Amino acid sequence: MFQHHGKNHHEVTLPHGQLHLFANEEVFASFEDRIYEMADHNLRIPRNIYMSYTPDAHIGIGTCIGTTAVWSMKDGFVSPSIVGSDIGCGMRVHLTSLRKEDIQDKEIRRKLIKAIEKFVPTKERDGSHYNEIKVEEIVREGIYGLPPEYVSDRDRSTTYVEHAKFEYDHSVLEHISGKLWKRAWRQIGTLGGGNHFIEIQYLQISEDKRDIAEKWGLFDGQVVVMIHSGSRAWGGMLGPKYTKEFRDAMDLWGVENPEKNLVYAPIQSEEGQRYINLMYAALNYAVVNRHMIAYGVHQAFQKVFGEDMEFPVLYDLMHNYALKEIHRNKPMLVHRKGATRALPAGHFMNAKPYKETGHPALIPGSMGTASYIMVGEEQGEKNFYSICHGAGRIRSRRATRELVTVDEFAESLKVGTDEEILVNHRTLKTVLDECPQAYKDVDQIIDSIAGAGLASVVAECKPMAVVKGT
């Protein structure tokens, strides 16, 4: 049974509970039966307070990507499946004083790409070149655990972020293997593969949000850099380990669920507490990893444009995590798997620099399409202030390679024209599964969010060059 709660807000009654969906009519009609089936299996977890899908929702492992699911901290549940395997995956944007015309020349952009590849490893290396950084410090202290030479503007680096440091019980680190410590050290400041990227963009400011854009330091034609990455091996190796541990515990407790890849445990259980604490360690690693990627990109811009090149962070935020938050005057565990928090002006959970305006919500598109910088609205409270995290896949990597040609991909990147979006790979075939045709129409996704009153667009980010990992 479907119930409508105003524009782009749908409520679906499933056998085990209520699912809220935020999507315009076109996107809503595109949802397949399987996502409702997965939602119902998720709603079997006892004492669920709220569950929703953003318009970019699509099939994931155990839970759809694009899910917000909420339980009380007092008697609720935590689920690694509703966090995702790339714990702490998120977005970061840095500002420059450059304008589009300053990098319109393809040769300048090629120099930038080459320089970025020099300073930011796009795949795992045999050894980190950040010898002064200690993994033990960054997973305990987040950005505060970095040596001073990597945090030139400490105040901005630790306040213009969703969280610079997550507090947790450090005794859980005793469970981490030496192999993971070593691998995590090698991956500090590395991009990773899949849908992770570094993208050079220029801005187009929304007319009705120019006041906010000005306060944030944004202007039309401004060159910015958007970064998408997560906790790399640190989070990636925790996921499978705790999926197995939770499944063993569920078997012991006699708990069954038709979704074989969906695992969960009471928040206050030994398993739940250990996972939450180690997840927070992964969140610390993730925010530092994006910070260090940005450090490398800044070096690349300095190499091309000179040592005086400034590169302030606009914001850093996550879209794969479970976080203790206060809602309805009660502490709750809010899971966001492929969902972005978007707080409105005046909300107490805003980072200090954004108390007045609300913080930037960073929404990537896909290679060849626009990304967006949004700001949360008061109505977002109905969805626990969650919005989309991107465009959302419409077909698998394998299906994309079977159905989309390299020529079609090249056309979407405007190859051969003055507006060509440059890519760091020698052949587009190597990144074909990340082409725009693999994703939903990001403009429809943004229209769904804005139409539902959850957030508004402050700036559209047009791509000019993309660096992808392997």
pLDDT digits (tens, 9 = 90+) for 234-252: 888 777 777 888 999 999 9
Residue 452 CA: distances (Å) to CA of 59, 177, 251, 254, 387: 22, 45, 41, 41, 10
Give the chain's length: 470
460 has a pLDDT exceeding 70? yes
Q: What is the pTM of this model?
A: 0.95
Known catalytic membership, residue 10: no
pLDDT tier at 93, thresholds 50, 70, 90: very high
364 is in an annotated binding site: yes
Cβ pair 374, 319 in contact under 8 A: no
145 is in an annotated binding site: no
Cβ pair 437, 408 in contact under 8 A: yes
SS3 269: coil
SS3 22: strand
CATH architecture of 2-394+439-468: Alpha-Beta Complex (3.90)
171 has a pLDDT exceeding 80? yes
* Residue 303 CB contacts under 8 Å (≥ 6 apart), including other chains: 115, 118, 119
197 is in an annotated binding site: yes
pLDDT tier at 126, thresholds 50, 70, 90: very low
- Alpha-carbon distance 463 to 223, whole Å? 10
8 has a pLDDT exceeding 70? yes
371 is in an annotated binding site: yes
300 has a pLDDT exceeding 90? yes
Q: Where are the domains of the chain?
A: 2-394+439-468
HSE (side-chain half, CA atoms, 13 Å) at 427:
4
How does the average pLDDT of the chain come out, rounded?
92
* 395 vs 254, higher pLDDT: 254
End-to-end CA distance of the chain: 44
Determine which of 82-91, 201-210, 431-440 has the lowest per-residue pLDDT on average.
Answer: 431-440
195 is in an annotated binding site: yes
The per-residue pLDDT for 410 is 80
Catalytic residue chosen out of the listed positions 170, 347, 389, 425: 389
319 is in an annotated binding site: yes
The per-residue pLDDT for 123 is 67
pLDDT tier at 224, thresholds 50, 70, 90: very high
Rounded mean pLDDT, 383-387:
98
347 is in an annotated binding site: no
81 is in an annotated binding site: no
* 186 vs 224, higher pLDDT: 224
